[in-house]
Structure 1
Amino acid sequence: MHPRPYCLRSAFAGQVAALGLAVAGGTCANAQTAPPEPVPEPHAAPNADRPDIKSVFASGSISFVELRGQDRNWSLATAGVACNTSETGVTTAEVQRTARPGLENLRGAMRHDEQLSKDTNVYVQASASTGDPLREDWGVNAGIVQRISAQLQLTLDARTARYSTPDPAAPQPSFVGLAITPGVVLTPRGTPLELSAQVIVLRNDRKDWQVGGAARAVYYTGDRDFFMAGASRYPENELGVVRQLSSFYVGMRRELGQGIGLRFTTEHARLEGTWTARTISLGLEKRF
């Protein structure tokens, strides 16, 4: 079984936006994006002047949340498209809608992955949102995935983003956070198993530095089919205040044929002193 390229879907959600290892795949509780897929394998577009559509995808999540003794439902919906924009590059655009009772946010993101060599991949991403401050006002991040050997890859992601609070009594209406996330991906020789871990070093709203971590195991049953499980504990932004978020998830991906893939995940998450959420997520991808 040959090693699989690995693409880290950055590392934060609110404060740690889209932490692939930390969550299952787009929970509305912490508004994550999907966990990392294999690095896109770009190919030459048939028309050099026109991007070649590689895939379209959509996902939805519902979270059953206990908040201050009350039960609530939150939702998250994502849709996007990935295009081969060069022989070695893939550009992805996506839109996310996060909804809670009385609160709503719409977020857009654009990301470009570039394969510098057979062992080195880099990416840059920019995002912005409008509506209630459930997501970052804006964010910019960049990262690298470096293969060291057939069994070892190293990853690094750096992100800065601005977050706001709806609390008029807050000492500051917004703050700019910073996170640096080194990681490692291990593929034991002769097994269909992939083990991933990250350390999250984050500057919070009080300008203090906090540390968190995440780990994930993926068991491949086919080239694109797998089962996964992961856990994390890291500082997370919630409406302008950073608290510790703990989560555990399990999930799977199944190829349905004709380039269609289905992903299902379930997650249990707890934000310290605030809410507990049980989330179910379902996603579909169509490759061309």
Structure 2
Amino acid sequence: MLLELAAASGVAQVQQSDRATLIAQANAARAAQDFKRAIAILEPARTANPNDVEILRLLGTSYAFDRRYDDAIATLIRARDLAPDDLDVRAALARAYLWSGRRGEAQVELAAIKARDPGNADAALLHRQLESPAPGKEAGDAPVRRRGAAMWSEVSGVTLASGASRTWWTIGGSAYTQIGARTSISGEVEREARQSRVDTHLQARIDQQFSPHLRGYLAVGGTPDADFREKWSVRGGVEVDVVKGVTLLADARHADYGSVAITAFEPGARVTVASIRTAVTVHMINLWDERDTHRTGWSGRIDSEVGRGILLFAGAATYPDTEAGITRRMRSVFGGVAVPVSRATTLRLTVDHDDRVNSYRRTGGTLGLQIRF
């Protein structure tokens, strides 16, 4: 019996020695930025030690640096389940979620870290990255995508107030790029065809993050030879985080239709509940129309991430809407889904319905594709 105990102890010592050697080799490969070699070392170590939290953490983060995000997340979830109070594991999992674009789930892990250690340094860094609409590369981070493009097409069935039926088509595209750690610019073109009338609208926009809790934008647009859209417009807005999960919004717009002009101001708020990966946004809409009459309305929207980066969204609004220099009451509802089809590509489908009082009713569907480079 003593001999058996001694043999078991010897085996354990050898296994512990082998484990320490493998971890040292993996750390050396990681320090040299050779994450594929680190993975090759750590995968057999995981097989031999399936419940070793340190090996799982090192393997998961190596997967993340190698952009194998699904493998990273699965491995780090296993480590978290084994050691739910290990904040290094939770921080690694939050980063893997963030780098893969699953920001809602990253928020959940961040909240868990803050609940256990409010002054955690990793939590402060993760908070800054999550609050940034397009975060730059921090020390030790995986590369982020700083450019992107989108395209969309919509077809709508329309019934005019006269009872006549029409089909309207819209196609558009946009592109953005970061020009600094906190600044991005974008451009957009959209062509809307309403039978014989066609408007092509152009827009340029700049977004700026002034601090971790304050962001703003400015946009200018125009429609050459406009029929129903504005000839030119300028708009801007700010977002400020006031407390955890609550952001105040303010947008202002001025549009000129040639013979008339309108001005709008839209204060609002967004409430984010990280634990259920859901955000609710509401706006009050104030518009001074072509007769300088003050009209009001509202809009509301809910966005919820249901897992694996899939986003569901829906909303409704009633507001004063101006077309061809004439303002009427618009009632709208919409809903849709955004599905990541790869690490850099998202497919979006939206269905919406508008009822413009004494003008038309429209039901449409939009298919869009967003690509990040």
**Does TM-score exceed 0.5, indicating one fold?**
yes
Query: Could you say which TM-score interval applies, normalised by the shorter chain?
Result: 0.7 to 0.9
Q: For the pair shown, which has the larger CA radius of gyration, 1 or 2?
A: 2
**Which string of whole-angstrom CA distances, capped at 9 and with x for unpartnered residues, describes residues 245-283 of structure 1?**
001111010000040101000011100011001110010
| Counterpart residue identity of residue 234, structure 1 | Y
Q: 1:135-155: CA deviations, max 9, x gaps?
A: 111011111011112210000
1:195 maps to 280
Identity %: 25
Instruction: Give, in whole Å, the separation in 1 of the partners of 2:269 and 2:352.
Output: 23
Residue ranges of structure 1 left out of the alignment (5+ in a row): 5-37, 45-51, 165-173
Q: Which amino acid in structure 2 is aligned with residue 58 of structure 1?
A: M
Partners in 1 of 2:296 and 2:204 — Cα distance? 27
Greater strand share, 1 or 2? Answer: 1
Code of the aligned partner of 1:82 = Y
1:204 aligns with 2:284: no
Instruction: Determine which structure has greater relative contact order: mean sequence separation of CA pairs < 8 Å that are 6+ residues apart, divided by chain length.
Output: 1
Question: Conserved in 1, the CA contact under 8 Å of 2:107 and 2:274?
Answer: no
Correspondence for 1:80: 174
Letter of the structure 2 residue corresponding to residue 69 of structure 1: G
Give the conservation status (yes or no) of the 8 Å contact 2:261–2:325.
no
Deviation, 1:243, is 0.2
Q: Is this contact kept in 2: 1:3–1:151, CA < 8 A?
A: no
How far apart in 1 are the matches of 2:355 and 2:168?
A: 14
How far apart are the structure 1 equivalents of 2:330 and 2:153? 21
Partner AA of 1:175 in structure 2: V
Please name the residue that 2:148 is paired with: 55
CA contact (8 A) 1:42 1:90 kept: no
CA offsets, 1:173-227, max 9 Å, x none? Answer: x112100000100113521111110000000011100001000111112474211
**1:272 alignment partner AA:** V
Give per-residue Cα distances to partners, 1:92-123, cap 9 Å, x unaligned: 10111011111011111000100111111110
Correspondence for 1:152 = 246
Aligned residues: 239
Q: Which one of the candidate residues 239, 243, 246 is aligned to 2:328? A: 243
Partner of 2:301: 216
Q: Answer whether contact 2:132 2:212 (CA < 8 A) is retained.
A: no
Of 268-277 and 188-197, more deviation after overlay is shown by: 188-197
The answer for unaligned runs of 5 or more in structure 2 is 1-104, 109-130, 138-144
More helix by share: 2
Given candidates 343, 347, 360, the residue that maps to 1:262 is 347
Within 5 Å, which residues of 2 pair with 1:76-155? 76-155=170-249
Structure-2 separation of matches of 1:74 and 1:106: 14
Alignment root-mean-square deviation, CA: 1.8
SS at match of 1:131: coil
CA distance in 2 between counterparts of 1:39 and 1:242 reads 36
